[in-house]
Structure 1
């Protein structure tokens, strides 16, 4: 898993600053939920008077928002911490914080391993960062990993993008997949009220944001912890209902959602996505394995046939829809025949993108203690073969864009070539094009160079496995 860094960008809605406290640096490991948590914590820090640092090793406060899904991500955290602990021994005024899933999993044992730490806090405590840091400033070494109700807080996030924003709709996860540590570190499901979600989206629209991604560890479970039954006898609050309730927020041009679980992905949800114009034709639906016996061992709660039917329904309603997924290879006991079924499923479906991983035993999960663990050599071999297929399939899917005109939402400039803009199609393909096209193809909107937030029609002239290049047209 790659680490991302919270840097200075568009400021948040200005909170009341208490005092100048120095500079901060946040490094984020893992999933979109962690990235959203980091944006909220950055906003809290700026509200307290901290300012973004230009260098991790010069910051007065360093925060690592951690991921424990895979062992390599966890070990990377300890590597980063070792460098900062050495720094703190020379500079006792440095504040060192570990947040996120590793913090929740390890708790006080992190302090024994890295005694230089000032604060260890689980994901449910992200909105309490200011309170916890006040305790640190009063001389305490703090561990906050207890069960905690996540408070509504829609004003403090400092967004890394000026165009696209995450909006959490449900926290936690009630699933019990045998390989996954998420439920134990992120807690039980907690759905936000639709009114609060819509209010946050209206605030983002007022600040110029154009695209919203609704987030949940298992977003299809949204609302099942909220009270209410419709006259037809179904739950009053579902993801489908939420999409209808927030779709007409003025100023928001595109809406996405992630991450979905095949067990709860309904035809009603698919129909809503086909009928609501702002819903993008892009679905991230992990399948994890192409073999039913492996899925049963994983406790995923669906079959390969059930997964196929979902995708058939999506492509029936939205033929051009992009499908991305997650898959795990070398799960305990997985045979070569079962692995080949995963490869077959990928070829049959033709995914636009697949996030791949070799199984990594996580402490406290059932599968970690099973005796039929596969060797590292098998994991590496299968992952390499899988990745080669995924890239080939993605390239074949990209070929359909050649010569087409795609609507691209401009997110910014290409960091490798400032003369180019970059953005994404509705199907989530990263696309590059000149900020100002040639005279016969004036770039941007109304003939001016395109700017972040513009919707630009781009004729695709070059396709790659995971990105496109084209020319803006009037």
Structure 2
């Protein structure tokens, strides 16, 4: 979500006539797009700002901006802490960057953190890739997980309309993009704030309906989506993914804890039995599907037995990859105020054990690719070996392969290439082009 926001804001700046500076400390406008999901990300912001504040004393015309979730969370207190800032703007204001900068030009110090309806103008993004694109389909989150700061910084759910999403994807296809990833903080909630029901009484604009609606856009070869919530991940959605050829067999479904009592305290709204049922149905219909997830260790009050249940779930399911984190208290969340916080040394030890298991299971999962032919969408040249391309399988495995096959045919970014996998690692593959 933050990467997509950054691309949109970069596009607005380019439209205004700005060019990207080679060095951060040479730029005459610096914008930090921030994350507050964990404390260490937030602390980095203040470190960067300290350097820029010193610069501004010598270079008063420097424009200094903090955007994103830290801006939304801290608001006016951020201006008090770093008075050199010109603009503090929450994520809902990303599309208003030009308007807000015009206010700065008049000499104002601007704070934009009020909740508002997101303006529908996403066609100006400066994409980091010319092959794969992020497409926001729903903003915000209405869940109230006890550890999570997202709803308070990204606001209420706001779904874009299907025609607006389709227009954006058609424009991407017309400019050569081959893959889109539909984005939402809770993407399975897409459409529940849009009007309309079917004759059968279900919501008319669900994520499943959206996948069918955009599937046949000419030029788009692959469709992905993230991030899912087990509470809303339906059998109908799984069946649609199995049925629609362009939808990739990769599912990112956070489970957060392997213990039902911890899930209840997190206010996640499902049990591990439900989670296992979802994974079972995916693997029944798509046996080679890749499953990735998020998990938190050392949530307040987590016992060693409860932590072991998370390890057991990782062992049992065999995830292709996991985003792991030790619990980090966040402002304005219930769990941050609970007295049963876990000591730092236990957090570190549990995270170490989990990461060790994750790497083992990831490599075990990768064994299935050995000597198999996989369809890889070439995305770029390997920066460490200019004779290689790098891209991802449909299951989202990073794969390296030569630019030229054994018959002398050359390949380039944007090509769909059949690659026979020869080498496997925990988090990537290498292979040769299969003629």
Distance 1:185 1:383 in 2: 27
- Out of 362, 367, 379, the position equivalent to 1:411 is 379
Aligned to 2:368: 400
Tell me which residue corresponds to 1:255: 223
Cα separation, 1, equivalents of 2:52 and 2:422: 46
Q: How does 1:210-359 map to 2 (within 5 A)?
A: 210-359=178-327
Q: Does 1:420 align with 2:388?
A: yes
| Shift, 1:249, TM fit | 0.5
1:154 deviates by 2.7
Q: Match of 1:386?
A: 354
Aligned to 1:6: none
- 3-state DSSP of counterpart to 2:123: coil
1:177-210 CA distance string (max 9 Å, x none) = 0000000000000000000000000000000000
CA–CA separation in structure 2 for the residues paired with 1:270 and 1:169: 19
Deviation, 1:438, is 3.2
Structure 1 partner of 2:432: 471
Tell me the equivalent position of 1:22. Answer: none
**1:84 lines up with 2:52 in the alignment:** yes
Q: Runs of 5+ in structure 1 lacking a partner?
A: 1-32
Q: For 2:282 and 2:59, locate their aligned partners in 1 and report how far apart those are by CA, in whole Å.
A: 56
- Give me the TM-score of the superposition, normalised by structure 2: 0.99
Deviation string for 1:263-299 (max 9, x for gaps)? Answer: 0000000000000000000000000000000000000
| 1:437 to partner: Cα distance | 3.0
Q: Decide which of 444, 461, 470 is 2:422's aligned counterpart.
A: 461
| Helix, strand or coil at the partner of 2:19 | strand
CA distance in 1, matches of 2:387, 2:45: 36
What SS does structure 2 have at the residue aligned with 1:411? strand
In structure 1, the residue matched to 2:153 is 185
Deviations 1:343-383 (A, max 9, x none): 00000000000000000000110000000000000000000
| TM-aligned CA deviation for residue 436 of structure 1 | 1.2
Question: Please, what TM-score do these two structures have when normalized by structure 1?
Answer: 0.91
Moved over 2 A (4+): none
Residue aligned with 1:52, SS:
coil
Q: 1:127 aligns with which of 82, 95, 102?
A: 95
Deviations 1:140-187 (A, max 9, x none): 000000011101113210100010000000000000000000000000
- Equivalent in the alignment of 2:124: 156
Separation in 2 of the partners of 1:355 and 1:79?
A: 25
1:121-145 Cα distance to aligned partner (Å, 9 max, x none):
0000000000000000110000000
How far off its partner does 1:233 sit? 0.5
**What is the CA–CA distance in structure 2 between the aligned matches of 1:416 and 1:121, rounded to whole Å?**
37
